[in-house]
Amino acid sequence: MHARHLSESRLYVPPISPHKLIQELVFYDPWMLTVICIMLNKTSPKQVKNVIFQFFKHWPNPQVAAETTIQEVSEVIRPLGLFRKRAEYIIALSKKFLTDDWKQLTEFKGVGTYGNDAYKIFCCGEWKTMIPSDHKLNDYHNWIATLHKSEKKPETFKRINIENDEVWCAIESEDMNKMDKEELKWWKGLVKKRRNLRHSKGLILKMMRSGVLLRVRI
């Protein structure tokens, strides 16, 4: 899997779960998702949520992050612990991410099985071919597997709609009520982008099924 493949737009949009994993919102940006996974290693999601806005405010993409210093990143992510190591990993990831000189995310220090599994589940939708070792990823994996089975048997299962607003409003009430307007706007922007991508996916699939895209290409 080369870097150029990671930047391609994908039709897969992972469903929002009751588990409220951060990766559910940033599936469309493999670099951002991988950086967050480096931060989450040996750290609680709550701690990570408290710093990721400031991080991505300073370094919104790998191009910018590749040019920063370990000291600058360390200052922002200090509350996570192991901040210097994490900073080294994030900068190294950002530099190499921009090249085609790698094939698997496991080649990057600090990513490990956890980051690679998260990428496969949320960016690629390859949850059917794997069983994650991390317990939170495993919770999501089990949930989506159950959801997938139940959607094949609508007569025995009534799907509960927990898409975007309901779940992330719950997160807002729990974790975001102390945020300033700028940070809250950033989080809501992630939700909005997810919603737009989900809507775009539906339109694209509808056009593909109707043959519109084929006619345009011809």
Specify if 167 maps to a domain.
no
For residue 171, how many other CB atoms are within 10 A of its CB? 15
- Within the chain, strands assigned E span none
Specify if 61 maps to a domain.
yes
Distance of alpha carbon 129 from alpha carbon 106, whole angstroms: 17
Mean pLDDT of 2-18: 62
For the question of residue 165 being annotated catalytic, the response is no
Whether the pLDDT of residue 104 is over 90: the answer is: no
Specify if 206 maps to a domain.
no
How many domains does the chain contain in total? 1
Sign of the torsion formed by the C-alpha atoms of 47, 172, 32 and 161: positive
Confidence of residue 191 (pLDDT cuts 50, 70, 90): confident
Distance of alpha carbon 146 from alpha carbon 140, whole angstroms: 10
| CA contacts within 13 A on the Cβ side of 137 | 22
Specify if 188 maps to a domain.
no
User: Which one of 100, 117, 134, 165 is the catalytic residue?
Assistant: 134
Specify if 71 maps to a domain.
yes
Task: Give the helix/strand (H/E) hosting 176.
Answer: none
Specify if 138 maps to a domain.
yes
Confidence of residue 177 (pLDDT cuts 50, 70, 90): low
Domain that holds residue 39: 3-162
Query: Which residues have CB under 8 Å from 47's CB, separation 6+?
Result: 79, 80
Identity of residue 16? I
Specify if 122 maps to a domain.
yes
CATH value at residue 148: 1.10.340.30
Residue 27, SS3?
coil
The predicted-structure confidence for 19-71, as pLDDT tens digits, reads as follows 889 999 899 999 999 999 999 998 988 899 889 999 999 999 999 999 999 99
Confidence of residue 101 (pLDDT cuts 50, 70, 90): confident
pTM above 0.95, yes or no: no
Specify if 153 maps to a domain.
yes
